[in-house]
Amino acid sequence: MKEGEHMAYRVAIVDDSTTDAEFVKGILNSWADLRQANIQAEVFPSAEAFLFQYAEDKDWDILLLDIEMGAMDGVTMAKRVRQDNEAVQIVFITGYSDYIAEGYEVAALHYLMKPVNREKLLSVLDRALEKRKQEERCLNLEAYGEMVRIPFYEIRYLDVHQNYVTVHAKADYTVKRTLGDFEKELDDRFCRVGRAMILNLKYIQRVTKTEVRLSDGTVLPLPRGAYEPLNRAIIQHT
């Protein structure tokens, strides 16, 4: 199964105006038809309604957010989402142009002014999907009898014990595969360290001759001869 084929891209439209939300959803559906994209769209009438579901279900790909809503505005909601989701694409929809500076804090992909222009939204959705595919590459693992999709950005490191590799992400997954198999699937943010470990360079905080410290506090021993190549990989990646 190829990346992305087994799952729809999930899009949330968050707007307290039913008319505006339905208008945007109509454009989204026609875009999905044009691009033959598998889209699952859901409308939420408030930021609070979305966050209530988000607490249990964080697997969203694109958020189309109205800024001016009731008790909680779209920018505040986006900041909450960004605390634990780097990959979701955020598009703000607003009636006012004076909010635009606030979007930098949450890495907003784009601002659309109301009334929403169909061609502009189609173009922004193209960009959002392209970025989502680039940024959200996933490792598909069969673990514990089910298929698990682990975003690359959540993987801190992989290590091997005997014939088993453990992928350390938000949870740990241990499977009977070789480290070499994983090395072929991962991208250039990962570096093989010796025979028994692959590190995500983005998580490395400090490297000494004998150990590497990750940003979550994990300390891993460095095998002999690994210090120089690991430092080179970090320099090339940054």
Strand extents, DSSP E, the chain = 9-14, 39-44, 62-66, 89-94, 110-113, 138-143, 146-151, 157-161, 164-168, 172-175, 190-193, 197-200, 204-207, 211-214, 219-221
Say whether pLDDT at 100 is over 60: no
Q: By percentage, how much of the chain surpasses pLDDT 70? A: 91
What domains appear along the chain, each with residue ranges and CATH number? 9-135 (3.40.50.2300), 138-237 (2.40.50.1020)
Helix (H, G, I), strand (E, B), or coil: what is residue 110? strand
149, 158, 186, 16: which is closest to 93 by C-alpha?
A: 16
Say whether pLDDT at 233 is over 80: yes
Q: Find where tokens 């989402």 sit.
A: 81
Say whether pLDDT at 150 is over 60: yes
Mean pLDDT, residues 181-205 taken together = 93
Mean pLDDT, residues 182-194 taken together = 93
Determine the distance from the C-alpha atom of residue 176 to the mean position of all C-alpha atoms in its chain, rounded to a whole number. 26
DSSP character for 128?
H
Q: Give the whole-angstrom CA distance, residue 55 versus residue 225.
A: 44
Q: Is the peptide bond before 115 cis (omega within 30 degrees of 0)?
A: yes
pLDDT of residue 102: 58
State the number of CA atoms in the 13 A half-sphere of 63 facing the CB: 32
Structure tokens belonging to residue 200? 């995500």
Query: 36-63, pLDDT tens digit by residue?
Result: 999 999 999 999 999 999 999 988 999 9
pLDDT of residue 3: 41
